[in-house]
Amino acid sequence: MTRKAAPRTPSTPAQEGLPLETLEQVVATLNPETDPGELAAQMVCVLAAPGRFEGARLWRVVNGTPVVWQESGKLAPADASRVERILHGKNPNANGDGTTWVLGRGSNPVGVLETQPKGKLDAKTRGWMDLFRRYAEVALESSERRHAVIELSTIVEATKRLNSTLDLAELLNIILQLTTRHTGAERGTVFLVDHERKEIWSLVGLGLEQHEIRLPISKGIAGWVAEHGEAVNLPDAYADPRFESEVDLRLGFKTKSLLCLPILSKADETIGVLQLLNKNSGPFTNADENLLRAISDHVALALENAQLHRDLLHKQRMERDLALARSIQLGLLPERPPQLAGFDIAVSHRPSLEVGGDYYDFIPLAPDTILMVVADVEGKGVGSAMVMANLQATLHALLAHLHSLERLVESLNDMMLADTRGQKFMTMFVGLLDQPNRTLHYVNAGHVQPGVIRANGDIEYLTEGGIVVGLFAGMKYERGHVKLYPGDVVVACTDGITEADNAAEEEFGSKRLVDLVASERTQPAHDIVKSVLKEVDLFSQGGTHDDDRVIFVMRVV
């Protein structure tokens, strides 16, 4: 009689195919000299290779909290709370089925390794995995220590080199040499952020010779990083829609991998962007990014110091240039007013900046005839000073050919319009003093109206002329004249006098000026000028309008 075999109880198949190789053969495929992140990635890939496990995951402990470090293959959803419970138990063979292992000894584990087997692990596979676990924890701990030493030495070297210069161009070159060498990048660029112009620009680029790249902050990966303050790591730059290929086309270069990080100031403002291209061994790694972050504070501090130094040098150079410009401008003005029989003349000129656009002049035309000019170029500073210098040269040139006041101003108008294309204009008062006849012929081209204070206190304003000079072509001007008598005082100024305001935004005004001169009309011209300047300074304390000032006083004696 044939006996039937008893039915077998169904059971889960055991993990098959492991170990096919010895531990030495498996770990030989790993590179223990690489950084911890790369080594962790290699480990999970080895475990999830065909014929081994379905998948593998490595957790890293960051500030006491487990986070997924690397994973490969088919895995159950990551459960951080489960791993945290295992960590609290500190059991190397953490769970009953032997699929989770704590890596590292002592109170600071290097990580937790999870595997997804195809079935239950047999004793041989468990033994193999226990050996792999021990190798993994030693290799990762060693890699982290080695990487920490490398990172520390890199930071020390970077700090020394970054503090070795305040020259911005040299500093940027040092930054690129350090970062390209330690990451294996083919090329790098440091972009500085110009927030006012909303641009990023490169002062120096490794391998770029003397090319300068200027881009709107809204374009390209570097612009995006400058705008958002976040790092970008791309294995294939052309696959990202933010990437701009125009620079590649212009320089004949092909960008492959790309790592771009913000350089943040102490106030967390993005002051620069470091962009590295084409790592020699493939895509840029998290370790590359972490290394650059470790030295970024030192880079930012060095950049800020270099830029402050550069700004200081620029300021000092500007101050020297402005001092020279002031000296040249003062050389264009008369050193002192002319000494004329029957007349007492005084004048003062004070620019609000180093140089300004106010102008006065006394030009003898004959032994008994002199041309007097008070003019005010719109604006102040270097631009107005350049127009003022051009006015002085043009006026002197025209006087050799023109003897009509009206024609003189008309020619100045057309020539200034041609030179400045309407970007600058000026007001001016031109007076021709006939000394023997004590008559002043004049043209007032939109200027503050000069006043004639008569010996008896009456006041007349000199208004004949036309509009400002330099706005419209072909303008015509009219000439006026006034007879002067002993005891009369003529006062002319620029609007830096009449428009000086006080804390209540009240202007000094023409009436206050002529009333003051009238009260001082018996004093010497020089004393009248001093009194006017003193009163204007007292009045304008706390005011906001500070402009170039010219004051001219002529007494008839």
Assign residue 483 the CATH number of its domain: 3.60.40.10
Question: Do 141 and 167 belong to one domain?
Answer: no
Let me know if residue 7 belongs to a domain.
Answer: no
DSSP 8-class letter at 99: -
Question: Which residue, 204, 200, 210, is CA-closest to 177?
Answer: 204
For residue 9, what pLDDT is reported? Answer: 40
Question: Which of 122, 157, 192 finishes a domain?
Answer: 157
Predicted model pTM: 0.51
Let me know if residue 337 belongs to a domain.
Answer: yes
Question: Do 148 and 170 belong to one domain?
Answer: no
Question: Do 515 and 548 belong to one domain?
Answer: yes
Question: Which of 97, 131, 157 finishes a domain?
Answer: 157
Sheet order of strands, 549-556 included: 343-350, 549-556, 489-493, 451-453, 459-461
The 10s digit of each residue's pLDDT in 416-448 is 888 887 778 899 999 999 999 999 999 999 999
Q: Are 29 and 37 a contacting pair, CB within 8 Å?
A: no
Give the domain range for residue 249. 163-311
Let me know if residue 10 belongs to a domain.
Answer: no
Please list the pLDDT of the chain residue by residue as tens digits (557 residues): 444 444 444 444 555 545 546 667 777 788 877 878 888 889 999 899 888 889 999 998 766 778 898 999 999 899 988 888 888 775 545 554 568 888 876 677 888 999 988 877 788 888 888 888 888 888 888 877 776 666 656 666 667 777 777 777 777 788 888 888 888 899 888 888 988 889 988 764 444 454 567 788 988 999 999 999 999 999 999 999 999 888 788 778 899 999 999 988 888 889 889 999 999 877 888 778 887 887 787 788 888 887 777 778 777 777 776 666 667 666 678 888 999 999 999 999 888 776 677 889 999 998 889 999 999 988 777 777 788 888 888 888 888 777 789 999 999 999 888 888 777 889 999 999 999 999 999 999 999 999 999 999 999 999 999 999 998 999 999 999 999 999 999 999 999 999 999 988 899 999 999 999 999 999 999 999 999 999 999 999 888 877 888 999 999 99
Question: Do 472 and 493 belong to one domain?
Answer: yes
Question: Do 276 and 361 belong to one domain?
Answer: no
For residue 5, what pLDDT is reported? Answer: 41
Let me know if residue 388 belongs to a domain.
Answer: yes
Question: Which of 106, 125, 157 finishes a domain?
Answer: 157
Question: Domain tally for the chain?
Answer: 3
Question: Do 380 and 429 belong to one domain?
Answer: yes
For residue 154, what pLDDT is reported? Answer: 65
Question: Do 39 and 78 belong to one domain?
Answer: yes
Let me know if residue 228 belongs to a domain.
Answer: yes
Question: Do 149 and 172 belong to one domain?
Answer: no
For residue 202, what pLDDT is reported? Answer: 78
Question: Do 351 and 297 belong to one domain?
Answer: no
Let me know if residue 504 belongs to a domain.
Answer: yes
Question: Do 190 and 128 belong to one domain?
Answer: no
CA distance 509 to 500: 8
Question: Do 123 and 176 belong to one domain?
Answer: no
CA distance 451 to 460: 6
Q: Which segments of 30-122 does DSSP mark as H helices, in order?
A: 36-47, 80-89
Let me know if residue 17 belongs to a domain.
Answer: no
Q: Write b or e for each residue in 145-155: b if 16 or more Cβ atoms lie within 10 A of its Cβ, otherwise e.
A: eebeeebeebe
DSSP tally for the chain: helices H, then strands E: 13, 21
Question: Do 393 and 450 belong to one domain?
Answer: yes
- Could you tell me the CATH number of the domain that includes residue 149? 3.30.450.40
CA distance 93 to 34: 27
Let me know if residue 6 belongs to a domain.
Answer: no
